[in-house]
Amino acid sequence: MTSNHRLVHMMLALMSMYSVSVSAKTVRIVLNDWASQHVISQIYGQLVETVGFKSKFVSLPTDGQWYYLKYNYVDVQVEVWQGTMEDKLTQLIESKSLQEAGSYPFTAREEWWYPSYVSSLCPQLPDWQALNDCAKLFSEGDDPRGVYYTGPWERHDLARIRALNLNYRVISLSDDSALVKKLQKAYQQKKPILIFNWTPNWIDTQYSGEFVEFPSHTPECETDPEWGLNKQFLYDCGNPKSGWIKKVTTKEFPKILPCAFDILKSMTFSKDELAQFALQVNVQAQTSKQVSQQWLSQNQQRWQSWLNHTSCDAYRD
């Protein structure tokens, strides 16, 4: 019997311990545009199905997910990054429209990034003030401006470019896979490239590179134009260097499905696991469901402990 077959039998056995009366209740889980978020969503979906709920995945861009969460069209987002999503999350938490379900036990960073071989061509990096001097290195075609590649995620890159007077333009790609392909091609040719990167991510283990060091982030950078180098515009700073990654739900979710909420709070992963999830999907070409099933098969004692809540007792036979 394969490990996946054993996993299926074990999860079916566990499901038999719970009442079928909850089977009509569906947990609606947001899917964004990057690998680790997909894998963790799949793991969570399988966990709540083990208890007896149904799971449903709803693909949404990061900037569009907030409306769906606020108005209860979806229930859960398993991976909210501070650097890209803090503004909207803070607004919705303060207005009591969303509920936090805990943070992962490590710090994260999201920022402009370049491969190490670029350092010999622009030795003033990673200081952000070197960007304009080296803009031609990162330019494409007849446009003298440097190019910064990012994904379809809500960012303040254009505002930062304006506030810091950077001679750059932004090209947004469809998802993290497209960003990876762009990096791989540039790396093979040893071509200078500037991309949006984050850690934890599989790139940490495969490619040597550095984040651009912008002026340090403070909340005032995003709210007070008088703060920082530019007295007219916001966002004249970088992203947080020691950011968080949170899990969030709709405000009503803990009341309607407390068992599913408690499982979400208990579910946690390490920095290395998030990087491994991304590696398996982006490099090893596994599906997020395959990766999630492998992880569940290899970590049975761990995830079973996440189901042990008094809020789930009502669903046991």
What are the structural domains, with CATH classification, of the chain? 3-107+244-315 (3.40.190.10), 109-222 (3.40.190.100)
Answer whether 29's CB lies under 8 Å from 45's CB.
yes
Q: pTM for the whole thing?
A: 0.82
Is the pLDDT assigned to residue 313 strictly greater than 70? yes
| CA dihedral (147, 150, 153, 154) positive or negative | negative
Is the pLDDT assigned to residue 14 strictly greater than 80? no
Would you tell me the crossing angle of helices 288-298 and 35-51 to the nearest 10 degrees?
Answer: 60
3-state secondary structure of 257: coil
Provide the 8-state DSSP code for 221: G
Q: What is the pLDDT of residue 191?
A: 97
| CA dihedral (30, 36, 42, 46) positive or negative | negative
The pLDDT tens digits of the residues spanning 195-240 come to 999 999 988 888 999 999 999 999 999 999 999 999 999 999 999 9
Q: What is the pLDDT of residue 23?
A: 39
Using CA atoms, how far apart are residues 71 and 93, in angstroms rounded to an integer?
Answer: 13
3-state secondary structure of 154: coil
Answer whether 214's CB lies under 8 Å from 131's CB.
no
Q: What percent of the chain has pLDDT over 70?
A: 91
